[in-house]
Structure 1
Amino acid sequence: MSAFVRLEPHVIDELVTICNTMLAELHKVGEATERLSATHGFGDLESARQLAAGYSRKAAGTPESARERIEQFIDTLTQLRDAFAAGGEDFLDTQFDWARALDTADRDV
């Protein structure tokens, strides 16, 4: 893309700070998703085991699971932060990629 965006230094700092704050929260949520796959206490019936397995799949292990979704958001936000940190020079090149990634992740939830 031939267009160029130049962000003011104080705007870059503010955007990077916002992204870092969001990333810190997403990392906390990511740590919490580690515990989601611990599906015990449903009982010993076959239907209970199937229910526990279903919840475990929703927690981790598939592209649509909670853990993978959080990782997708972290990856996308990291790319966005890095584009801002570059002073906007990479922003136009990446804006459609990260917007598409967020839209795809959000649509499947």
Structure 2
Amino acid sequence: MSEFVRLEPHVIDEIVTICNTMLLELHKAGEATDKLSATYGFGDLESARQLAAGYSRKGAGTPESARERIEQFIDTLTQLRDAFASGGEDFLDTQFDWARALDTVDRDM
């Protein structure tokens, strides 16, 4: 793009700090998703095993699962943070890409 956005250094630092805080929390949530596939206690009936398998799939292993959704948010937020960290030079080029990525993740949920 021919346009250029110039952000003040203190604004960049604040935005990057906010993004890093959000990323830290998303990484913690991602670690918690490791436990979501451990489904037990539903019983031995076939319907119980099917229910447990369904919950396990919602936790991880499919594009719509919690783990993959969190990874998508992490990737998108990392790109956004890096665009801001560049001082705004990359922001105009990436703003529509990350906005589209977040919109796609949100719509798929």
Same fold, TM-score > 0.5, yes or no = yes
In structure 1, the residue corresponding to 2:2 is in which secondary structure? coil
Give, in angstroms, the shift of residue 107 of structure 1. Answer: 1.1
Give, in angstroms, the shift of residue 4 of structure 1. Answer: 1.0
Residue 76 (structure 1) aligns with: 76
The answer to whether 1:51 aligns with 2:51 is yes
Q: Deviations over 1:5-34 (max 9, x none)?
A: 111100000000000000000000000011
The answer to whether 1:11 aligns with 2:11 is yes
Give, in angstroms, the shift of residue 64 of structure 1. Answer: 0.6
Residue 85 (structure 2) aligns with: 85
Give, in angstroms, the shift of residue 3 of structure 1. Answer: 1.4
Give, in angstroms, the shift of residue 40 of structure 1. Answer: 0.6
Paired-residue identity, %: 90
The TM-score with structure 1 as length reference comes to: 0.98
Residue 38 (structure 1) aligns with: 38
Residue 102 (structure 2) aligns with: 102
Give structure 1 regions of 4+ aligned residues with deviation exceeding 3 angstroms: none
Unaligned regions of 5+ residues in structure 1, if any?
A: none
Report the residue type matching 2:76 in the other structure: T
Report the residue type matching 2:2 in the other structure: S
Give, in angstroms, the shift of residue 45 of structure 1. Answer: 0.4
Give, in angstroms, the shift of residue 108 of structure 1. Answer: 1.2
